[in-house]
Each structure stands twice: as C-alpha cells, then as structure tokens.
C-alpha cells in the first residue's frame, strides 16, 4: 500500500491486522516525487517478498485549481499531471513483469466524469483523466493478445471524500456514497474472470 502520509498507512495496517487479514506491506511514497529511478526500490521489494503482483489499483488523485486554462498555475498543472497521469504510467510500466507473473493480473485505473465531460475551468484535472482513459486503452490494445492482463478504468462517480468537498462545496455530502460503499464494485472488477471485461471503462 502506498500513501504519502505514513499515519494513514499505519492506521489501515492496524485495521487489516486486527481482522486477521494478510499482513500488508506499506510504503510511504509521495507520487509527486516518483520517477523511473526511485521506483526501483518498490519493484525490488515486491519481487523479493511476493514474486508476483495480482493487482494494481491507481486511486491517488490531485484536484488542482479550478481556473481558466490561460490563467492556470503552471506548478499546479505539473503536480496534477504527475499524480493523476504520469505516476500511474510509471508504476504500471515498472510493475508490469510482476503483474504478468500472476494468473490474471489486474490494472485498475480510477477515472472521472471530467475525462469525457470536460466542463470549463476543470483544466488539468479533466485533461489528465482523459489521458488516463487513453492510457488504459493503449495498454489493453498493445497487450491484449500477448498477456492475460486485465486493464480497466473505473469511474466511481460522486463519492463522499475530502476532495469532493473541495470541488463541490455546495453539495450535501451525505447524498453521495462513502468510499466503503463503493468497494464492492472495485472487488468485482478485481475478481471477475470474464475476458469481455478487459479494456472496459466500468461505471459505478
């Protein structure tokens, strides 16, 4: 499990261990600093401990600024692109051999309505997720016939998160599902043995 805040990882680690789940491996990692060089430690650690990777879920997101494109802060632009688009590419590319060691490795990209409904002022966020969906499709098209990998995007829709409160401050939060309520859809996507799922964008 990767997260930039170690306390979040430790809390989830303790929760999983208290439920007698498999002991997880946690790695504090700031995706804004991820690059082709420092990702090697992650790959080496997983290979030594497990030898394979059954699934990879890309769920980290950066909202950025809601602003006109011609006034968009360039540092914010780079951060959104790095976290939402570039980091998933680097992780997928680096972990691909371990995913291929699994029987039906799964790579699940999280996407958003903005990828196909680009409303004004959503700037880097909308463009990054359009790129995420294109990236998933490219991985699928290039590896469909030579591997058993499942590449998918999943669009969770409105979810009761801190980022949603920032992007939609006028909403009644309780009208959106909590993250735990949408987990069955993720588990379904990660466990279904159905080749027709491959390369699809899944909506919750």
- Residues annotated as part of the active site: 125
Task: Give 3-state DSSP helix, strand, coil % of the chain, rounded to 5.
Answer: 50, 10, 40
The rounded radius of gyration (Å) of the Cα atoms in the chain is 17
List of E strands, the chain: 2-3, 27-28, 55-58, 106-110, 150-155, 201-203
Q: Give the separation between CA 96 and CA 150, rounded to whole angstroms.
A: 12
Start-to-end CA span in the chain (Å) = 23
Tokens of 86: 């570039």
Q: Give the separation between CA 145 and CA 165, rounded to whole angstroms.
A: 42
Residue 195 burial (C-beta neighbours within 10 Å; 0-12, 13-18, 19+): exposed
Q: Which residue has the tokens 């799922």?
A: 197
CA atoms within 13 A on the CB side of 13: 15
Q: Give the separation between CA 68 and CA 64, rounded to whole angstroms.
A: 12
Q: Give the separation between CA 171 and CA 160, rounded to whole angstroms.
A: 10
């Amino acid at each position: 499990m990767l997260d930039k805040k170690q306390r979040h990882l430790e809390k989830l680690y303790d929760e999983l261990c208290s439920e007698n789940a498999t002991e997880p491996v946690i790695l504090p990692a700031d995706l804004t600093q991820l690059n082709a060089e420092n990702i090697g430690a992650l790959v080496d650690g997983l290979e030594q401990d497990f030898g394979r990777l059954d699934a990879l879920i890309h769920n980290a997101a950066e909202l950025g600024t809601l602003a006109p494109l011609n006034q968009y802060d360039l540092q914010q632009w780079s951060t959104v692109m790095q976290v939402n688009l570039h980091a998933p590419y680097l992780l997928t590319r680096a972990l691909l051999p371990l995913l291929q060691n699994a029987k039906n490795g799964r790579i699940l990209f999280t996407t958003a309505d903005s990828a196909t409904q680009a409303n004004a002022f959503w700037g880097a966020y909308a463009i990054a997720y359009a790129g995420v969906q294109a990236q998933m499709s490219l991985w699928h098209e290039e590896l469909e016939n030579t591997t058993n990998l499942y590449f998918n995007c999943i669009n969770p829709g409105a979810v009761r998160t801190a980022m949603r409160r920032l992007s939609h401050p006028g909403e009644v939060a309780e009208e959106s599902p909590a993250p735990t309520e949408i987990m069955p859809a993720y588990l379904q996507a990660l466990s279904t043995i159905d080749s027709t799922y491959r390369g699809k964008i899944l909506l919750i």
